[in-house]
Structure 1
Amino acid sequence: MTTCELCGETTGGRYLCQRHAIALAKTLAALPGLYTEVGQCLVPRQSSWGEIVTTRAAAGPRSPLNEDVLDTVNWGRAAEVVRLWRVDVQRVRWPHHAPPPPPADLNADCRWLGMELDWIVERYPATGDLAREMGELERQARSVTGDPAPRPQRLGTCVAVNGEGVVCGAVITRLPGQTRVQCRWCSYVYDCERDWLLLLHFQPAESA
Structure 2
Amino acid sequence: MTQCELCNEETNGRRLCERHTVKLAASLDALPALHAELAVHLVPRRTGPAELVTAGAAGPRSPLNEDVLDLVHGRHMAAVMESWREDVQRVRWPQYTPPPPAGLASACRWLAMELDWVVVHYPAAADLAREVWGLEDAALSIVGAPRPRPQRLGTCVARGEDGVVCGAVIKRMPGQSRVTCRWCSYTYESERDWLMLLAGQPKTGDDTDEVA
Length-normalised TM-score, structure 1: 0.89
Aligned to 1:116: 114
Cα distance in 1 for partners of 2:192, 2:72 equals 46
1:148 to 146, 149, 152: 146
User: What secondary structure, in the 3-state scheme, does the structure 1 residue paired with 2:154 have?
Assistant: strand
Q: Which residue does the alignment assign to 1:82?
A: 81
Residues 35, 74 of structure 1: 8 Å contact kept: yes
- Following TM superposition, by how much is the alpha carbon of 1:66 offset from its aligned partner in structure 2, in angstroms? 4.9
Distance 1:36 1:168, change over 3 A: same
> What is the rounded CA distance, in whole Å, between the counterparts of 2:185 and 2:2 in structure 1?
11
Give the drift of 1:200.
1.4
Larger displacement relative to structure 2 (197-206 or 173-182): 197-206
Residue 4 of structure 1 corresponds to 4
Equivalence for 1:93: 92
- 1:91 is displaced (CA, Å) by 0.4
What is the rounded CA distance, in whole Å, between the counterparts of 2:165 and 2:28 in structure 1?
39
Alignment check: 8 A CA contact 1:85 1:130 kept: yes
Amino acid at match of 1:78: M
The offset of 1:185, in angstroms, is: 1.2
Distance 1:63 1:150 in 2: 30
Alignment of 1:1-208 (within 5 A): 2-43=2-43, 50-52=52-54, 53-55=57-59, 58=60, 62-64=61-63, 66-67=65-66, 69-74=67-72, 76-102=75-101, 104-204=102-202, 205-206=204-205, 207-208=207-208
Contact 2:41/2:68 (<8 A) preserved: no
Structure number with greater CO (CA < 8 Å, separation at least 6) is 1
Uncovered stretches (5+) of structure 2, i.e. residues with no partner = none
The AA in structure 1 aligned to 2:158 is A
SS of equivalent to 1:154:
strand
Q: What is the RMSD computed on CA atoms of the aligned residues?
A: 2.0
The alignment of Structure 1 onto Structure 2 pairs a total of residues equal to 199
Identity, % of aligned pairs?
58
The 3-state SS of whatever aligns with 2:147 is coil
- SS at 2:53's partner residue? coil
